[in-house]
Amino acid sequence: MTEWTILGAGALGCVIAGQLHQKGERVGFMLSERHRGHFHPNLDLITLSGRHQLIQSQPRFPEHARKVECLMVFTKAYHVLGALKELQHLPKSTPIILFNNGMGLTEQVKELMPDNPLLVGVCSHGAMKEQDWLVRHTGKGETWLGALNEAGKEWTHLLKPLAASLGHCEWSDDIALHQRHKLAVNAVINPLTAYNNISNGQLVEPRFHDVLEQLTDEVYQVIARLNGSDAESKDAFRRRLQQVIEETAINYSSMQQDLANGRKTEIDYITGFILKHADGIPVPVSQQLYDEIKRREA
C-alpha cells in the first residue's frame, strides 16, 4: 500500500495523518465539496515536544475514490453514512476503518458497504484543533483495530505500519469492548463540558463534584452490564476517567466545541447510546444533559 486516505480532517484525523507522515507513510485527505477550488495548505502539526512540523498531504475528492487503497474515517458520526455514499467509485476491495466517536453506526455501514473489508479503530491519542490545518498532539494513547466483517479479518497486516507510526496498535477480536470503554469516558466528559462550556480539566473543580460522581455512576452501570464478565471495576473506571481528565486538562471536548460554535453534536451516538441501553437503570443526569444539549442544538 502506498497511501492512507483520511476522511475527516478534524483534530484526531490530522494528528494520525501527521504521525503516519513522520514515519514516511504517504497520506491523502478526502475532502468535501466546500474545499474544492480552495488552496490546500500543508498540515501544521504541533508535536508533543511543542515543535511545529509541516506535513504534506494530497487533496482527494470523491471522483478519486477509485484510487483509495485504505480509507480511515474520522468524520463526525452523523456524517459517516452520507460521506461514504459519495464515494461511489470506491473499490470493493478497499478496507474502511471507522474511527468515529460514539457507537450505533456499524450495522448501517455494513448494510451500505457489504462487500468492503470493514474494520473499527479505537484510538486514545489526545488531539486539539487550534485552527484550520493547525493541530496539536496533546497526548500519546493506545490504538486498537478489529474486524466488522469476515473480509476485515484479512487486514491484520495494517497493524505493523500503524504501530510504527502511532507507538501502539494491537488487534482485538472484541473491538466493541474497546469502543464501549472509550464511549464510557466520552459519555461523562463530553456532555458535562458541553453543557457547562468548560475545558476538560475544569471538571475537577469542587462545584462539579456531585454531578460528576452521579454521571460516572450512571454511565458505569450501563456499560458494565453491556460488558458482562469483561466489565472493569467501578474504581478502575474512575481511575481511567480521572487519568483522561488530567491528561486532556487543557483540551475542550469535541462536543463542547461543536455546541459553542453552533454545530450539531454527536450526543445521539454518545449519551444517546447510554440512554438506549439503560434498560431500567436510572440515568436522570444523562437524560437531562441529553435533553438540554438537544434543545441548544435546535
**Are residues 168 and 182 located together in one domain of the fold?**
no
**Are residues 56 and 165 located together in one domain of the fold?**
yes
Out of 173, 201, 231, a domain closes at 173
- Cα–Cα distance measured from residue 23 to residue 41, given in angstroms and rounded to the nearest whole number: 20
Predicted local confidence at residue 39, as pLDDT: 59
> Which CATH number do you get for residue 159?
3.40.50.720
Q: Are 265 and 186 in contact (CB under 8 A)?
A: no
Phi and psi based region of residue 246 (left: phi greater than 0; alpha: psi -120 to 50; beta: remaining): alpha
**Are residues 112 and 128 located together in one domain of the fold?**
yes
Residues of the chain with pLDDT under 70: 37-41
Predicted local confidence at residue 2, as pLDDT: 85
**Are residues 210 and 103 located together in one domain of the fold?**
no
**Are residues 34 and 107 located together in one domain of the fold?**
yes
- Cα–Cα distance measured from residue 187 to residue 185, given in angstroms and rounded to the nearest whole number: 5
**Are residues 73 and 133 located together in one domain of the fold?**
yes
**DSSP secondary structure letters along 238-255:** HHHHHHHHHHTTT---HH
What's at 8, amino acid-wise?
A: G
- Cα–Cα distance measured from residue 102 to residue 148, given in angstroms and rounded to the nearest whole number: 16
- Cα–Cα distance measured from residue 214 to residue 105, given in angstroms and rounded to the nearest whole number: 28
Predicted TM-score of the model (pTM): 0.94
Q: Show the CA angle centred on residue 252, arms to residues 181 and 264, nearest 5°.
A: 80
Beta carbons within 10 angstroms of residue 138's beta carbon: 19
**Are residues 213 and 231 located together in one domain of the fold?**
yes
**Are residues 132 and 266 located together in one domain of the fold?**
no
Out of 147, 173, 199, a domain closes at 173
**Are residues 151 and 184 located together in one domain of the fold?**
no
Q: Residues near 295 by Cβ (< 8 Å), separated by ≥ 6?
A: none
Nearest to 240 by CA among 276, 166, 196, 188: 188
> Which CATH number do you get for residue 185?
1.10.1040.10
Q: Show the CA angle centred on residue 294, arms to residues 290 and 296, nearest 5°.
A: 120
Out of 173, 199, 226, a domain closes at 173
Rounded to an integer, what is the distance from CA 21 to the centroid of its chain? 20
List the catalytic residues.
182
- Cα–Cα distance measured from residue 159 to residue 229, given in angstroms and rounded to the nearest whole number: 27
**Are residues 169 and 211 located together in one domain of the fold?**
no
Q: Are 267 and 191 in contact (CB under 8 A)?
A: yes
Phi, psi of 202 (to 5 degrees): -70, -10
- Cα–Cα distance measured from residue 268 to residue 16, given in angstroms and rounded to the nearest whole number: 25
What range does the domain containing 144 cover?
4-173
Number of separate domains in the chain: 2
**Are residues 19 and 155 located together in one domain of the fold?**
yes
Beta carbons within 10 angstroms of residue 109's beta carbon: 21
- Cα–Cα distance measured from residue 158 to residue 171, given in angstroms and rounded to the nearest whole number: 10
Predicted local confidence at residue 74, as pLDDT: 97
- Cα–Cα distance measured from residue 63 to residue 145, given in angstroms and rounded to the nearest whole number: 28
**Are residues 38 and 152 located together in one domain of the fold?**
yes
